[in-house]
A and B are shown apart, each in its own frame.
Chain A
């Protein structure tokens, strides 16, 4: 398929996944902030602000909502992501299903005049819930109404790459907000819980273990669980499966699959107990973030950039058209 269309579908998958994560992170921390002291609260908002490069002088909830929900420019702003998703959909209407187009268009019409004040009137939770449902529904429609061809695979690849990067980012937010006191105080337990909730993982976690939030288990669950769809291992396995739907005619494309498999193997060898004991979460998270960014870049190079087949230099002489140099 055309690289431009593949990229468009990939970007569509990414911005929809992104909007959902941002809305959920803000929602989880909003709920937590209701039961916290003012001093604890400052840390989490500045950790989020830092992680998403919001550049807020004094990060607070209001400032983050204004930026991460309503900003027309910030690349992680929910409203911008929804607008981008609809624009991508409009320019590729023949690639996505009618149902997906209607869903994108309706959500766009509903949100196009949204402001910070309107979000407050609707209620933060209600707004965030709508965004989560929008994203879930779009991916659900994609799986239930699209032909399982390359278009579908690139859309899914975008969603999964964004998800892998977001898992790293959520771990990073957690690390920044808890590093100073990972000593099992109640606030620490709540923050590990928030980490799970930011991935809709608290309920699955309880089912896999029990209700006790133990840092080592949380890390194992989020990094290594093979069956929880938002764990890093499961996300990477899904990426690997999705890549098998896409033609891999070049060496770069074949290597990409190998890189993903290597990272899955590396993840399995991580010892969560050791990380907690050594307090080496920062290094681990940084290394994982780097590895996921490399996969992201490798996807771009393998599929979205077609290079010239021959290396004939081209000279442009004014008014004479293209002349290959002899």
Chain B
């Protein structure tokens, strides 16, 4: 690891004696070792503060998160231990120019995705024109028959998306996953900013960072605008306190000033949705649901689940209640379908995609299959029906046996696999270690949150959840893999106030 060779004592005097990893994009240092212009103020602050100063700020930040109970539940622990989501005090800085470019790309992508969903659940032109193979949709586990033929308000299926992006070697943003079902993490983004404004107010002010705290307002406005009722009753539907994201559900409900409900608080009568209150039944117009498709209605979907509301699917089909996101968005949020999003952008918008995405080789394509089989060591192999990293194989890290087993599996059922080149996630300086702390490069991704008020009215919150893999060399940023987060600072345009 080409880190600084200087002594520990020297390092703590000068924490930014830091070497970026070669072959990876670093958010603070250009390849020639110079500090990127937008990060000069941050670097001089870190050098002035020193390692001990940073550690002290880190302790303040951790304490602030713990006291407020900003925690997630660890499923593996049967006592339901609540832990804080690790947080790194060194922020990520993104210039207005880069952000603007990213925003345009995200808007274009979500516009096409909403149009694609509308098409899939109505005429299916894209299939008839043979741009997307029909079996891709027919075989998808996330295709939702209940949504077929439903006219959703304003053509919006994906009200909230949390698109996962990485930066490639040259620093361009690349889409990794679209997360169109029930994306989470926005509460951490909002709380990270609150903690930073408490711990580093001067630095934040100096940077002229764009605000993120209006997110609940944007979300509420978007949800309200979906209803034909001028004063709609909106609720947030949560699976309950044992869900790992319960904190976020209760946080968003409180911030929006709407009721947080569980399935057992609701009932459907005569195809209308009601909540059970102390003064009888109150009609509900819009449900921002944080419960997965297969659990929202035990009659239409899984009968063994008590999380949902019997009859909700029928009320939805009748147009008496709005569900955000619409059931069935997962059909597009699929590893094989991902490969077709650029084609969908061209098909519906007649534009070239503005955002790059990771090239995907599909086992089902005869021209891709020989390449996959002969380049396993350089690829990440993903089963199309897997999620959450299950069944995923990173070729460069796999043993000979794993490689030959996977090869055999692909040969037997090539349509069940896709392959992507191993991604070189960008790095950011991060405070690591406790006893001998240091500022070292760690890999990051970025999840911006996008809210659709209409097919061509999409707002991207200027910020995003930056997740960081705290373990050295780790490319997986998930919190279950020891990942943490950083505050993301999108700078104001020079002309903006």
Which of A's residues lie within 8 Å of B, judged by CB?
Answer: 1-4, 6, 90-91, 93-94, 101, 150, 154, 246-247, 249-250, 303-304, 306, 308-310, 312, 314, 316, 321-322, 324
Report Cα–Cα, A324/B276, bound state, in Å: 21
Residues of B within 8 A of A150 (CB): 278
B277 near A90 with CB under 8 A, answer: no
Residues of B within 8 A of A91 (CB): 240-241
| Complex partner residue of B262 from A4, A101, A303, CB under 8 angstroms | A4
- Nearest residue (CB) in A for B254 is A94
Known: A2-B277, A246-B278, A306-B267. A94 touches B260 (CB 8 A): yes
Residues of A within 8 A of B146 (CB): 321
> Smallest Cβ distance from B255 to chain A, in angstroms?
10
B270 near A310 with CB under 8 A, answer: yes
Residues of A within 8 A of B69 (CB): 93, 101
Taking the complex as formed, is B275 at the interface, i.e. its CB lies under 8 A from any CB of chain A? yes
Residues of B within 8 A of A312 (CB): 269-270
* Complex interface residues of chain B between 226 and 271 (CB less than 8 A to chain A): 240-241, 250, 253-254, 259-262, 264-265, 267-271
| Complex partner residue of A309 from B254, B269, B310, B314, CB under 8 angstroms | B269
> Smallest Cβ distance from A253 to chain B, in angstroms?
8
- Nearest residue (CB) in B for A7 is B278
B311 near A306 with CB under 8 A, answer: no
For the complex of A and B, the 6 pairs showing the least CB-CB separation, nearest first, are: A306-B276, A322-B311, A249-B279, A3-B276, A91-B241, A303-B278
A3 near B265 with CB under 8 A, answer: yes
- Nearest residue (CB) in B for A322 is B311
B280 near A322 with CB under 8 A, answer: no
Taking the complex as formed, is B281 at the interface, i.e. its CB lies under 8 A from any CB of chain A? yes
> Smallest Cβ distance from B169 to chain A, in angstroms?
45
> Smallest Cβ distance from B251 to chain A, in angstroms?
9
A250 near B268 with CB under 8 A, answer: no
14 pairs of residues in contact across A and B, judged by CB atoms under 8 Å: A2-B261, A2-B277, A3-B265, A3-B277, A4-B262, A4-B264, A90-B241, A91-B241, A246-B278, A247-B279, A250-B280, A309-B274, A321-B299, A322-B314
Taking the complex as formed, is B74 at the interface, i.e. its CB lies under 8 A from any CB of chain A? no
- Nearest residue (CB) in A for B246 is A91
> Smallest Cβ distance from A228 to chain B, in angstroms?
30
Known: A2-B277, A90-B241, A91-B241. A322 touches B260 (CB 8 A): no
Taking the complex as formed, is B113 at the interface, i.e. its CB lies under 8 A from any CB of chain A? no
Report Cα–Cα, A249/B262, bound state, in Å: 24
> Smallest Cβ distance from B331 to chain A, in angstroms?
20
A321 near B300 with CB under 8 A, answer: yes
Report Cα–Cα, A306/B274, bound state, in Å: 10
B276 near A2 with CB under 8 A, answer: yes
A1 near B260 with CB under 8 A, answer: no
Taking the complex as formed, is B455 at the interface, i.e. its CB lies under 8 A from any CB of chain A? no
A4 near B269 with CB under 8 A, answer: no
| Complex partner residue of B281 from A4, A6, A247, A306, CB under 8 angstroms | A306
Residues of B within 8 A of A93 (CB): 69, 250
Residues of B within 8 A of A310 (CB): 269-270
What number of A-B contacts does a CB cutoff of 8 Å give? 73
Report Cα–Cα, A131/B250, bound state, in Å: 30
A306 near B261 with CB under 8 A, answer: no
Report Cα–Cα, A87/B152, bound state, in Å: 39
A306 near B280 with CB under 8 A, answer: yes
Residues of B within 8 A of A250 (CB): 279-280
> Smallest Cβ distance from B353 to chain A, in angstroms?
38
| Complex partner residue of B299 from A3, A6, A304, A316, CB under 8 angstroms | A316
Report Cα–Cα, A13/B437, bound state, in Å: 48
Taking the complex as formed, is B175 at the interface, i.e. its CB lies under 8 A from any CB of chain A? no
Report Cα–Cα, A53/B136, bound state, in Å: 62
Known: A306-B267, A312-B269, A322-B299. A3 touches B278 (CB 8 A): yes
A314 near B311 with CB under 8 A, answer: yes
Residues of A within 8 A of B260 (CB): 94
Residues of B within 8 A of A94 (CB): 250, 253-254, 260
B254 near A247 with CB under 8 A, answer: no
Report Cα–Cα, A222/B271, bound state, in Å: 53
> Smallest Cβ distance from A84 to chain B, in angstroms?
13
Report Cα–Cα, A322/B316, bound state, in Å: 12
B270 near A324 with CB under 8 A, answer: yes
B268 near A322 with CB under 8 A, answer: yes
Taking the complex as formed, is B313 at the interface, i.e. its CB lies under 8 A from any CB of chain A? yes
Report Cα–Cα, A301/B471, bound state, in Å: 55
**New A-B pairs, 8, CB < 8 Å, besides A247-B279, A308-B269:** A3-B276, A90-B241, A306-B267, A309-B274, A309-B281, A312-B269, A312-B270, A321-B297
Residues of A within 8 A of B299 (CB): 316, 321-322
Known: A90-B241, A93-B250. A6 touches B311 (CB 8 A): no
Residues of B within 8 A of A308 (CB): 267, 269, 281
Residues of B within 8 A of A90 (CB): 241
> Smallest Cβ distance from B449 to chain A, in angstroms?
22
Known: A308-B267, A322-B268, A324-B270. A1 touches B277 (CB 8 A): yes
A249 near B250 with CB under 8 A, answer: no
Report Cα–Cα, A17/B311, bound state, in Å: 39
> Smallest Cβ distance from B347 to chain A, in angstroms?
33
- Nearest residue (CB) in A for B276 is A306
Residues of A within 8 A of B270 (CB): 310, 312, 324
> Smallest Cβ distance from A45 to chain B, in angstroms?
34
Report Cα–Cα, A306/B265, bound state, in Å: 10
> Smallest Cβ distance from A7 to chain B, in angstroms?
9
Residues of B within 8 A of A322 (CB): 268, 271, 299, 310-311, 314
> Smallest Cβ distance from B396 to chain A, in angstroms?
44
> Smallest Cβ distance from A2 to chain B, in angstroms?
5
> Smallest Cβ distance from A100 to chain B, in angstroms?
13
